[in-house]
Amino acid sequence: MEVVKDCLKGNEKAMKIFYEHFHGFALSACMSYCENREDALEIMNDGFLKVFKNLDKIDNIDSIKPWLRRIMINGAIDHYRKNIHKQSTELSENIAESNYGDESVYAKLSSEDIMSAIQSLPANYRVVFNLYAIEGYSHKEIGEMLNIAESTSRANLSLANGLLRQKLTKRL
């Protein structure tokens, strides 16, 4: 909490310590929503600017990580909304169902394999998948966040799951 107090006073050394301490955590949150590191770094750095501007709202050290993660995710969602017109969605006509439910097969995959597969999803599928499967939002909440219909959120999740199965099966 002392570092936070020093950050509030404008102490650049304290800000650097804070940034370095939470850098990996913030970057991993952003990488979950981006297909490349450059976009994730941009979102993360913008997020840290928001963090330092609003750090006075933190009164409990235990709430910093969830608050920071929320800022990074909101930044990623904003980035997605700004770039949605640049995204193209390639639908797979033949989504693999093989090995579905065979957990022993998927247990052979590393976290890097899984993260890479998620990052390779089209942006609209990746964002919905992360918000639903990782963050725990409902399809209604996702629809409101992304300005899409609840049914579109459901469809994107279903397609994301199918594409993930297909991509992960190929890695086995």
Tokens read off for 94: 């033949």
Asked if residue 142 lies in contact with residue 48, where contact means CB atoms within 8 angstroms, the answer is: no
Kindly report, residue by residue over 16-41, the tens digit of the pLDDT: 999 999 999 999 999 999 888 999 99
Which residues lie closer than 8 Å to 132 by C-beta, 6 or more apart?
138, 139, 142, 153, 157
The verdict on pTM exceeding 0.85 is: no
pLDDT tens-digit map of 69-112:
999 999 999 999 888 766 544 444 444 344 445 555 556 677 78
